[in-house]
Structure 1
């Protein structure tokens, strides 16, 4: 049996898929920005000499590394409103789920970059009278950033693909919009082929921009 491909019905609904792609980018960017802030805080906590500071950060990271992402989506959308007596729309729940999860993974990326800096540089900077915070800000982080870029980009790609889980909350990201288009066209092969190509274009473009940024950071080091 030979399948007859027909993309015309899907292309008629390209505006719906474009909106879904825009919403996917919206979730991804917001989650990456919030996740970076949380990840840096958790990384610094894990590097603290105080066990009381390290323990909560370690527990948070281990929880998110060892639980399925979809559980986080459902928890923020269905459970948190019950516990906190508030109402979250699908977009807010999806961003919170992804930002907290990505924060846990970014924390390990940042921590790995920081500990990769030779101890001699810490000691030299402290010998000049710098405080720990000053050493981190002026000496360690500027060098560590370049080493963090590859794993950071890889994790951000995974986060972007995980945005598809927002469809389970009926938020109109790319996969959810694709399901709506499929229900109108009854062309699943064509619909999901186009969706795969849109994800491919998005991530390849983001990867090219990331490599360009990495080259610039390397040039400045």
Structure 2
């Protein structure tokens, strides 16, 4: 007997899925903003000639780049509260996990971007009397960030995919909402089909924006960092 598709029970729960999508974007946005800021700090520390700064930064970057995100999430949600004696909500645990994990990737993008700037830019800044931090802030970073935009956008897309793991600690994201709708309606096929389409639309649109930005930078003569 052929399966009878029926999307009406799923569509009746559209507000629940919409709230789940909003929560997904919330944790993704939080992790993205915090990850970029922390990533810049880690990159500058790793580029420092002082080993007591560069080595710890490098250690953090490598740990969070090489360990599974799900293990990191469980550690922050289940293990860290035992050490510090403070309970973490699913949102906080997810935001902290994905912020640090994203920062480890953004740090390498920042580092590559900064190192891609020609040495003459540093020499020119020094010749007009700029300190190292002034040259970095006024000359190097503006050029480097422009080259890094496509890589940042690609990482943001990957981050949104990774945040689906937060459903495992009962955060009400889109996947968690889908599980509830599926159990309520007994329509898992339709439910997860709709959720897959939602993710496809959101991520496809984001990827197209990233592609347009990269093409525009390419036409302007700016190389990009990946």
Same fold flag (TM > 0.5): yes
Counterpart residue number, 1:41: 41
- Indicate whether 1:193 and 2:193 are aligned: yes
Asked if 2 retains the 8 angstrom alpha-carbon contact of 1:110 and 1:148, the reply is yes
Cα offset for 1:209?
4.4
Find the residue that maps to 1:48 and give its secondary structure: coil
Matched, 1:25 2:64: no
What aligned pairs does 1:44-193 form with structure 2 within 5 A after superposition?
Answer: 44-193=44-193
Report deviation, 1:89: 0.7
Shift of 1:4: 2.3
Which TM-score applies when normalising by structure 1?
Answer: 0.94
Q: Quick check: 2:154–2:210 contact (8 Å CA) kept in 1?
A: no
Task: Report the Cα distance in structure 1 between the residues aligned to 2:8 and 2:16, rounded to whole angstroms.
Answer: 14
Counterpart contact for 2:23–2:173, Cα < 8 Å: yes
- Unpaired stretches in structure 2, ≥5 consecutive residues: none
Q: What is the alpha-carbon distance in structure 1 between the residues aligned to residue 68 and residue 185 of structure 2?
A: 32
Segment of structure 1 superposing worse, 120-129 or 100-109: 120-129
> How far apart, in 2, do the equivalents of 1:154 and 1:78 lie?
30
Residues 23/218 of structure 1: CA separation in 2 closer, same or farther (3 Å cut): farther
Moved over 2 A (4+): 1-4, 204-219
| Number of aligned residues | 221
Give the structure-2-normalised TM-score.
0.92
